[in-house]
Each structure stands twice: as C-alpha cells, then as structure tokens.
Amino acid sequence: MIKHLGRVAALAGLVVSLWLVWRDNPAAVLGALRAAGAGLVVAALAHVLPMLANACDWRSLIRGANRPRVLDMLHLVWVRESVNSLLPVARIGGEVVSFRMLRRWGVRPSTAVASIIADMQLTVISQLLFTMVGIGFLFAHAHSDTLRLAGQLAWGVVVLTPLLVLFALVQHASPFERMTRVLNHITSGKLAALVGQSAQIDQAIKLIWRRRGVVLRYLFCWQPLQCFLTSLEIWLALYFLGAPVTLVEAVVIESLIQAISSAAFFVPGGLGVQEGGFILIGGALGLDPSTCLALAGARRIRDLLMFVPGLVAWQFAEAANRAPAPVPAGATHGESRADAHAGDPEESGPARAELAESSAAGDANRR
C-alpha cells in the first residue's frame, strides 16, 4: 500500500511540475536553462561539499574502533540521499540502506541505529532553526504577499515545535525497549531476544546525547556549514541563470525549500511540491516565476547528475555483498567462521568497553 501511495504521489507531483511549467512560459524556462549551460553542472557538482559536511557530522556521532573513515561516510551519505531523493521510500529507505552498509563495515547494530536516529533528530532540530531564520528574513523584508507567506510558514513551525519537543523527550523513556517488551508480551515471549537489543539501542542513543560537545558542534558548527554549502548551490545556479542573489537570500531560499520538501516527505523527490515552493519563496524575494522554475529545473539536473550514479553505486555495493566470501585453502567452514569471530575488532578494545557500559546501563534501567 505504501509503495503504491509513493508511486501515485510521484505521478501526481510530476503532473503538477509539468503544469506549472506549461502554465508559466515553457520557452522562457527552457531558454534560461540553455543559457546557463555547463554552469548548472558546476552548481550540481557543488553538492559534494554539503555531503562532505554531512559525512563529518554523522561520523562524529559514531564511537568505537570500527568508526568508518570520512570517505566511507561520504559514500554512505551519497547513497542515502540518492535512495531518499529518487525512490518512493518516504525518506526512510535511505536510513535502512545506511544501516546495512554500516553493519557491513563492522559497526555494531545498536551503534548504527543510534547514530542514524540521532542524526535524524539533530537534523530536524537544525532544520527548524534555519526555517525560523528564513521566516525572520521574510518578515524583515516583507511586502504584503511576502508577509502572508511568512505568516503561513510561521504557523507551520508553531505546529511542528511541540512534536519536535516530544520527539526529543521520548528518547529518555527507552522507547525501543518498551515497544519490544509490549510486542514480546503479545507474542508470548517469542521476541525475548529483541528486548535486550532494544535496550542497547536506547542506551546508545542516550550516550550520544550525553556527549554535549559533539551535539553542540553538530547543531552550531557542522549543520550551519552544511546549510551554507547547500545554499551555495542555489547561489551558483541563480548566477548562471542570470538572476544573481546575495548569499543571505540563497540561504533563505534553501532553508525554506528544505522545510517544504521535508513536510512533503511522502512525495518522491518533492515532485511538484519543490517547484511550487521555489515559485512561492523566489517570488517573495523578487524572482520572476520563469527564473524560479528554471532554478527548480537546475535542482532536478543536480538530482540526475548526483543521485542516479548514487543508486548505481548502491546496487554495485549490494551485489558485492551478495558474493560469497573466499575460504582459505585447507580451512573448514567451521574454522573460517571461528577465525573470523576471533579476528573481529568489534569484540576488542574500546568497542567492548562501550558495549559493557551500554549493557550495564540497560540492566540498571530495567531494574
């Protein structure tokens, strides 16, 4: 049902996108894109920079001896964004793929899940902050229509704020352990093994939030850098489209378009929603509809150039993972498994200490 809903939403969004272009001036939109030419490729490739910032901030949430390298995290961010942007997965399929990749690299399940959830929580908080900055800018430079748009966005933020606070508080109530305990009771003890694993996930999330320095750097260093670098794409695209704006205006456009796209998470790639958002926000800043639609087209060019190869890279990684691992000559299957377990770095050093700390805290919580 969810899969079909995503496909219907994608089709509806595509129809809306084409209608917006046709209603305005298709020749003007295509002419602006043609005039920009290779400059839009430069703007698209600039997306590597915010992905690198995202890789660094996500990596800072992962502890242990098996923490991936920065380049591995960059690859992970690339695949996650590609899956979430182009496939009808309601913006959660990329997280599932990320978990599988982290596990293949030796990261413990509880650490992998905790880093993904904490990254999502902190990203939502930072997006809310940047949305408020964008709304404040619109209020400060508003004429009547702009003021009306800013007011509508402000009401959206007001509605989301209690949900965000609830989302932040729930983590302290061990939600995963409580849910699995209820499910275990319903299934008459068939999920008993999952209760302990869920407790470890809850504790791993708490351990991340207790590292206040990491959390503060994520919110006030890495995330602003990521937003600025993503806004640089907007600035470059508009420069090559012949409608230059200031970097501040580019940040406002990016922060508000992210908020609109996140609200329409069920629409693959924000089809239709993103185009309409560019018209509303760009129009509030004095850009004509043709330029706004050309900017939306530039964003689609970025998706094709960056995320289609990301899906291909993901499929290659999955195919490599399905290939059977070679067994050393003269070793039995049981010996190879024992050697692999003995040589697993996850069972040594800092990783073992962190696991002991997590398990002990989980036992204390259950008591």
Specify whether the CB–CB gap between 231 and 125 falls below 8 A: no
The pLDDT-based confidence of 40 (bands split at 50, 70, 90) is: very high
What is the rounded average pLDDT of the residues 250-270? 80
Interval 55-78: pLDDT, tens = 999 999 998 788 999 999 999 999
Specify whether the CB–CB gap between 82 and 311 falls below 8 A: yes
Of the candidate ranges 49-58, 64-73, 341-350, the one whose mean pLDDT is the lowest: 341-350
Q: Which two tokens stand for residue 171?
A: 């983590």
Q: 3-state SS of the chain: helix, strand, coil percent to 5?
A: 80, 0, 20
Tell me what pLDDT residue 306 has. Answer: 95
Q: Which of 70-84, 188-202, 278-292, 347-361 has the highest mean pLDDT?
A: 70-84
Tell me what pLDDT residue 357 has. Answer: 47
Interval 140-191: pLDDT, tens = 766 656 556 656 666 566 566 666 666 665 556 566 656 666 665 566 665 5
Tell me what pLDDT residue 302 has. Answer: 93
Tell me what pLDDT residue 87 has. Answer: 84
More confident residue, 279 or 4: 279
Residue 37 CA: distances (Å) to CA of 45, 232, 290, 362: 14, 18, 16, 57
Interval 109-119: pLDDT, tens = 999 999 998 99
Interval 196-205: pLDDT, tens = 677 778 888 8
Helix (H), strand (E) at residue 78: helix 70-86
Tell me what pLDDT residue 364 has. Answer: 44
The pLDDT-based confidence of 82 (bands split at 50, 70, 90) is: very high
What is the rounded average pLDDT of the residues 95-108? 92
Of the candidate ranges 46-55, 165-174, 207-216, the one whose mean pLDDT is the lowest: 165-174
CA angle at 313 for the pair 312 and 315, rounded to the nearest 5°: 65
Tell me what pLDDT residue 36 has. Answer: 92
Specify whether the CB–CB gap between 100 and 80 falls below 8 A: no
DSSP 108: -
